[in-house]
Amino acid sequence: RFLRQNVVSSNISLLVQRQAQERLRRHDKLTKADVPVLSLLSQELYKELHAEICVPHVIRHPFFRMLHNIDTRFFRNFCSMAVETTFYRSGDGIFTAGSMAGGAYCVVSGNIVYTQEPQTSPVNEVEAKELSDGTWLCESALWSEWIHVGSAMALS
């Protein structure tokens, strides 16, 4: 009904419906949005929960590990304010070359393919690299305005 009301073409409507049905059949990892009872937690407990989930992944980066070692309380607060968890499914685009970076990325589980092309980055031919758990992307966006020179897509 939404697609008809918004006059979406039959080609796109079919693709949207297929992808929605496929994703509804999967049993993906739950997100915080999937657990409504979390909204009942106090703000402090919710921040602690978020930090508990994020800290082990974020401290894989040497800079963040150093911050954590210097001041654990500050770092847990930093995680609750600045770290966001996003789940991508196979085939989802994460970012594209030429777009403004909104932050850095850390692969927690699964694989991503990062592709650079001569038109947008300093390479002579197309280069694609598969990235896995623990890999960081776009760290430059943490301390500068950064425009992506490659594209990233979730593989798994």
User: pTM of the full predicted structure?
Assistant: 0.73
pLDDT band for 26, please (50, 70, 90 cuts). Answer: low
Q: Is the pLDDT of residue 143 over 70?
A: yes
**Per-residue CA distances from 26 to 22, 23, 107, 153, 156 (Å):** 7, 5, 21, 19, 13
Task: Tell me the torsion sign for CA atoms 137, 139, 142, 146.
Answer: negative
Per-residue pLDDT of 105-120, as tens digits, reads 999 999 999 999 999 9
Q: Tell me the mean pLDDT in the region 76-101.
A: 91
